[in-house]
Amino acid sequence: MSAVNPLPAASLAHALHAAAVIVARVASGRSLSAELERAGDESIIASRAALIDLTHGTLRRFGRSQAIVRTLSRQDQGDPLVEALLWCALYALESGRYAQYTVVDQAVRACALLEKWPSKGFVNALLRRFLRERRVLEARLRDDVQARYQHPSWWIDTVRAALPDAWEQVLEAGNTHPPMCLRVNHRRADPQALCDRLAAEGLAARRIGLVGLLLDTPVPVDRLPGFAQGAVSVQDAGAQRAVDYLDLRAGQRVLDACAAPGGKSAHILETADVVLTALDIDATRCARIERNLERLGLAAEVKTADCRALSSWWDGGLYDRVLADVPCSASGVARRHPDVKWIRRASDIPASATRQAQILNALWPVLAPGGKLLYVTCSVFPQENDAVIEAFLAGAPNARRLGLPANAPAQCLPDPDHDGFFYALLEKPL
């Protein structure tokens, strides 16, 4: 890529400053999306696009950057803000977006913005040493598992044990840029016609699934023709499979039990004339569901509730279909949320599985005889997937697991076209 020569008002130093503050907070256990939202009103942001590139890129390569700084500084831990600045600067150097001298100079300037004046010489020296000793460092990093695969050791071990033939593919996918897939609202547009319209506007895309369009290059949603008018939404191709598996029919009562931000709820309503109840435990996220449905010209009963607490939301009417897109580790979508690799702990997975089992057990009574429940995670960890389903079936004699349509695999691994998801379809016999 060509070098970037930013304007003074949107300099790389300001972007590095803002990114370092956010990455330092994430390294201490904060959520990247929450920190980016918080930063939205702060004047330190020079360019949101540059900020997102620096934060996401740094965290995708976090294991590598940590190892480089640790090796070159010869210390296990230094000043958190200075370390975060170095991690961001290393990503900027390796991204190829900027000239090397620009990155070094702007990183030193960012030290002043961070009020870390005594560290300016240290930052300058470490980055220059990295550029001089890069080849030697590469040989050392090959022996560092976290630096090589850019995931925590426990995560690597879990994936390798679960997927002995595909573990490197899954880890590599977690370090890439995610694809951008669209879902066409067939009530308002034709998928092929919209694909042709995108091409006419210089946005190359190809058909994927029944209503999906996979863009060659991601773009802001305001560049998508028909987005504001509800003709199209952004939804990963793997996530779009949920509606295919639900076997929807007009007139059914359908429950989306963990619905926010509402993509699957909207897809359900675009597909069939059903009566939908959408739940989420967070009121702010419920408001987002309602906004999405309004844009698409759709309607559902949206309730703020914990789906496990039936008395707080259930009217006693049984549902023909239940979608349980349960909270999970997000290990199948790590490239979209690169912070999860570093803020998750191995001990989080059993706790997640316990909550998932509670959700399944709570929802089973609301499913009508002859009805189907689709259990979904965006995880590649079997502890959250098959293990949860097998334990549930062992304790629920009136439940049976069905095969997915077209013999689709339960575990959908991340690849260039879609993220990683797990699907299990359960039926309650008549």
Which of left, alpha, beta for 319 (phi over 0: left; psi -120 to 50: alpha)?
Answer: beta
Distance CA 110, CA 14 (A): 6
- Cα end-to-end span (Å), the chain: 61
The residue annotated as part of the active site, out of 195, 307, 328, 378, is 378
Distance of CA 229 to the CA centre of its chain: 25
| Backbone phi and psi for residue 123, each to the nearest 5 degrees, phi listed first | -60, -45
Beta bridge partners of 214: 181, 206
All residues at 6 or more sequence positions from 114 whose CB lies less than 8 Å from its CB, including other chains: 17, 20, 21, 81, 82, 85
Confirm if 32 and 22 have CB atoms less than 8 A apart. Answer: yes
DSSP for 12-51 reads: HHHHHHHHHHHHHHHHTT--HHHHHHHHTT-TT-S-HHHH
List for the chain the helix, strand, coil content (%; round to 5): 50, 15, 35
Residue type, 370: G
Task: Assign 143 to helix, strand or coil.
Answer: coil
Distance CA 169, CA 165 (A): 9
Our answer to whether residue 307 is catalytic in this structure is no
Residues forming the active site: 378
